[in-house]
Amino acid sequence: MAALALSACATTTSPTGRKQMVGGVSQQQLDQLGAQAFAETKSKEKISSDGKQIAYVKCVVNALVAQLPPQWRGTAWETAVFVDDEPNAFALPGGKVGVNSGIFKVAKTQDQLAAVLGHEIGHVISRHHEERITRQMGAQTGLSVLGALAGAAYGGNAASAVNQIGGMTAQTAFLLPGSRTQESEADIVGQRLMAEAGFDPSQAVNLWQNMMAAGGERSPQWLSTHPDPANRIRELQRDAPSLMPVYEQAKREGRNPRCG
């Protein structure tokens, strides 16, 4: 079964030109696993009823999604705001976006929030979750994931795979941090995406400066799982000038988000 599953793996190219090993799971299965991970998180965390915050997040997400390739733009994206002081956010396959209320302490403008969400959506469109699962399968370190996905692929019941994986889905396949290579790539993809959507790409720098300032002696959990913040800021500063023409073109074409 493992050999059959791994035979479906293939090498592809990420949005930045990096070689990736993918194909260990179908898009349908990946979307269902993302939905399961999102449902698990919603069942465990307190969901905000703040209509203003919810509308704000949806507005930014919708502006970013409008600039995605058709494959991703056609997805019915769902958002949720969680009552949690930890400045955190995530996006999952199947169009699921979660934001902790604590993110508003560091993402102080719509452009800075777009930097956060552009990065997280960048993980999805760069197929990082699929890449992670495929790597786990190839290294035989995710045998329970492999068994469930193989059962779905060859048993004709993708939903049963989601049920078999249960609570492990979110932690093992999705919500644990990706590699630093993936994180850096999501920065590049997300910063371009925010510029295309009409958000100021230079504000990604301000976001991370705010994140560092908020960390104090102890970095926020989200910050600790990513590349060195100082290096990250330098890279975002490096790329911002080349993205300003993209941002200005978006403005000329009428992409002027007014999310609050």
**Per-residue pLDDT of the chain in tens (260 residues, 90 and over written 9):** 445 445 556 777 777 778 876 776 788 888 888 898 899 999 999 999 999 999 999 999 999 999 999 988 888 899 999 999 999 999 999 999 999 999 999 999 999 999 999 999 999 988 888 787 777 665 544 445 544 444 433 344 443 444 444 444 444 444 455 577 888 899 999 999 999 999 999 999 999 999 888 865 445 444 445 567 788 899 999 999 999 999 999 999 999 999 97
How much is the pLDDT for 222?
Answer: 46
Residue 6 resides in a domain: no
- Structural tokens at position 126: 């760069």
How much is the pLDDT for 178?
Answer: 56
Q: Which residues contact 129 (CB under 8 A, 6 or more apart)?
A: 30, 34, 92, 93, 123, 173, 174
Report how far residue 182's alpha carbon sits from residue 132's, in angstroms, rounded to the nearest whole number.
Answer: 10
How much is the pLDDT for 149?
Answer: 43
Residue 177 resides in a domain: yes
For the entire predicted model, the pTM comes to 0.79
How much is the pLDDT for 181?
Answer: 82
How much is the pLDDT for 236?
Answer: 94
Task: Give the bridge partners for 80, in sequence order.
Answer: 98
Report how far residue 156's alpha carbon sits from residue 171's, in angstroms, rounded to the nearest whole number.
Answer: 25
**Domain housing 238:** 46-128+161-252
119 and 6 in contact (C-beta within 8 Å)? no
Cα 16 to chain centroid, rounded: 16
The total number of structural domains in the chain stands at 1
Residue 53 resides in a domain: yes
Residue 28 resides in a domain: no
Residue 141 resides in a domain: no
In 3D, which of 247, 130, 231, 133 has the Cα closest to residue 180?
A: 231
Residue 187 resides in a domain: yes
Residue 39 resides in a domain: no
Residue 13 resides in a domain: no
How much is the pLDDT for 111?
Answer: 98
16 and 189 in contact (C-beta within 8 Å)? yes
